[in-house]
């Protein structure tokens, strides 16, 4: 008996283990090597015949090998146990063809405009805005006059506004509201400040249908009126909003604009989502796209609802739901939203 002999035995044992194909095979190997009359047992028995010095060295070697082989034994046994379990379960359930398709429930989706709408109002709810509603059939006075839109303003033309065949009232002609701003008037006439609300709804314009225009679309109006409302509040709220809606990293900017019912009036741009601000055809090489109009409530509008300017100030904004959905989902033709092709709706 020597070192070579021991290593040879180890090698034979491992080979036998490797070839074992079942728990039974492993058991056979175990008996052959580790059984009471097994080869390894025999090697231990022979130890006593060696000189002391050699006995120490060979004995240690033998112990190490036994430990190593036992570990491999355990792993091998475990691996067989798992295999055995699986095959038994399969035998029990063999009546089912498990790979057949699952029940194909009909898929129901909310319209993409609804999804975007819900997302927008949720963000403004976090910011502490209430929700208010107003009618789509509106008085000329609320839609225009009270909002400081002069009588000769182009928006009032028959070419821009859809009027209804209804008798004129003491609050002017009846029309389909051209923006959600008249809801501002309704809210301010009914409630005292503090007012902090968004006002969603459908609006109408006298437009022929094309890829960029519809005669009806959806807007969300925002209004905050209280003592000490600042221009910086408007910037803060809207920046918070576009970050929440698009992404934290998105850059935005404010530009001077003109609306009769706000002063100062601004437009908000966000970094172009297509080129990420590098310039492309969508943003006309400016790196920015316009997303909404806003401003500080015009003093005349506040006077019209009986609120004193300087004592009260406020901000207002209006955004198009379709516009936000188009930017978010990269849709180029606005008419798609109203075709209601399920192949379109189910994408979102």
Partner 1 sequence: MKLSLLWLKEILNVNNFPDDKIIDIIEQLGYEIESVERKDSDVLSKVKVVKVVSVEKHPNADKLVLCKLTDGKTENVVVCGAPNVYQGMLSAYVSAGDKLADGRIVEPKKIRGIISNGMLCSAKELGLYDDHSGILDLDTSFVLGSTLDRYFNDVIIDIATPANRYNCLGHLGIAKEVAIKINHEIKTEPQTILSFENKKLPFFDVKIVSTELCKRYIAIQVNNVNNKTRLPFFITYRINVLGIRSISPLVDISNYVMLEVGHSVHIFDYDKLKNGKIIVRNANKGETILALDGKEYILAEDMIVIADDTAPVAIAGIIGGKNSCVDDNTRNIVIESALFNRSKIRITKKQLGINTEASYRFERGSGWNLCELAAIKTYNMITKYCGGEMCRFSDEKDLNYYTTLTSFQQNGIRVNLDFLSSFLGFNVDTKSFIDLFQALGSEVKLSSENMDMNRVILLLPPLDRQDIKFQADVAEEIARFTGYDCIAETLPPNVLKYIRKNDVEKFYNQILNYLTAMGFNQVINYTLCSTKENEVIINNEEKKINILNPVSNEYSELRLSLFSSLLKNLVLNYNNQTEPIALTELGKVFYKQNAKLVEEYQIGLIIYGELSWLGWKHKVIEYDFYYLCGVVEKLLKTLGLEYVKSVENVSTQEIVKPKLHPEFVNSLVYYFDVSCSKILAQIFEIKKEKLKLKLPKPVFYGEVYIEDIKALVNKEKAFTMLPKYPYILRDLCFIVPENITYQKIDNIISSYFKNKNLDNQIVLSDYHKKENFTTITITLKIRDRNKTLTDEETNCIIAQLIDELKHYRIQLREK
Task: Return the residues of window 37-56 that contact partner 1 according to CB under 8 A.
Answer: none
Crossing angle for the helix pair 39-47 and 23-34, to the nearest 10 degrees? 20
Please check whether residue 35 is in contact with residue 26, taking contact to mean a CB–CB distance below 8 angstroms. no
Which of 53, 170, 249, 339 contacts partner 1 by CB under 8 A?
339
226, 276, 278, 347: residue in contact with partner 1 (rule CB under 8 A): 226
Neighbouring CB atoms inside 10 A of 136's CB total 13
Q: Which helix (H) or strand (E) is 338 found in, with range?
A: helix 336-339
Nearest distance from residue 90's CB to partner 1, in Å?
A: 22
Q: Which is nearer to partner 1, 10 or 322 (CB)?
A: 322
Dihedrals phi, psi of 312, to nearest 5 degrees: -115, 145
**Is residue 255 involved in binding partner 1 (CB under 8 A)?**
yes
Write the CA distances from 172 to 40, 49, 161, 181, 201, integer angstroms: 109, 121, 14, 17, 22
Name the minimum Å distance from CB 253 to partner 1.
7
Q: Tokens in use for 247?
A: 């992404």
Which sign, positive or negative, has the C-alpha torsion 258, 259, 264, 265?
A: negative
The residue within the footprint of partner 1, chosen from 166, 189, 211, 212 (CB under 8 A), is 166
- What is the spatial distance between Cα 99 and Cα 119, in angstroms, rounded to a whole number? 38
Q: In whole angstroms, what is the distance from residue 152 CA to residue 257 CA?
A: 20
Nearer to partner 1, 2 or 346 (CB): 346
131 contributes a contact to partner 1 by CB under 8 A = yes
Does 159 bind partner 1 (CB under 8 A)? Our answer is yes
Q: Which two tokens stand for residue 134?
A: 């107003």
Q: Does 105 bind partner 1 (CB under 8 A)?
A: yes
119: contact with partner 1 by CB under 8 A: no
Nearer to partner 1, 35 or 287 (CB): 287
The answer to whether 236 contacts partner 1 (rule: CB under 8 A) is yes
Contact stretch for partner 1 (CB under 8 A) within 17-25, 42-50, 62-70, 112-120? 112-120
279-338 positions binding partner 1, by CB under 8 A: 284, 286, 296, 298-300, 309-310, 313, 337-338
């Amino acid at each position: 008996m020597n070192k070579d002999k021991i290593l040879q035995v180890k090698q034979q044992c491992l080979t036998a283990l490797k070839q074992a194909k079942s728990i039974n095979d492993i058991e056979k190997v175990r008996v052959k090597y580790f059984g009471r009359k097994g080869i390894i047992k025999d090697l231990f028995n022979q130890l006593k015949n060696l000189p002391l010095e050699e006995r120490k060295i060979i004995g240690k070697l033998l112990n190490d090998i036994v430990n190593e082989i036992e570990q491999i034994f355990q792993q091998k046994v475990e691996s067989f146990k798992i295999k055995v379990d699986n095959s038994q379960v399969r035998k029990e359930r063999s009546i089912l063809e498990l790979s057949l398709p699952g029940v194909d429930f009909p898929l129901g989706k909310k319209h993409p405009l609804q999804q975007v709408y819900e997302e927008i109002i949720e963000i403004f709810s976090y910011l502490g805005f209430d929700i208010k509603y107003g009618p789509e059939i509106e008085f000329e006075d609320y839609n225009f006059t009270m909002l400081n839109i002069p009588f000769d303003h182009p928006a009032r033309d028959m070419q821009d506004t859809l009027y209804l065949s209804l008798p004129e009232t003491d609050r002017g002609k009846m029309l389909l509201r051209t923006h959600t701003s008249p809801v501002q008037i309704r809210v301010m006439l009914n409630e005292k400040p503090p007012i902090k609300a968004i006002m969603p709804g459908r609006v109408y314009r006298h437009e022929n249908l094309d890829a960029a225009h519809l005669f009806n679309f959806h807007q969300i109006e925002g209004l905050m009126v209280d003592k000490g409302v600042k221009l910086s509040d408007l910037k803060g709220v809207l920046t918070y909003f576009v970050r929440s809606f698009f992404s934290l990293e998105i850059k935005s900017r404010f530009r001077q604009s003109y609306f009769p019912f706000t002063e100062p009036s601004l437009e908000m741009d966000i970094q172009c989502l297509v080129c990420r601000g590098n310039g492309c055809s969508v943003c006309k090489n400016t790196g920015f796209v316009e997303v909404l109009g806003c401003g500080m409530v015009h003093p005349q509008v506040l006077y019209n609802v009986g609120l004193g300017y300087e004592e009260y100030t406020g901000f207002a904004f209006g955004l198009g739901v379709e516009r936000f959905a188009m930017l978010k989902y990269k849709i180029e033709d606005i008419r798609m939203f109203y075709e209601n092709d399920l192949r379109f709706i189910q994408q979102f």
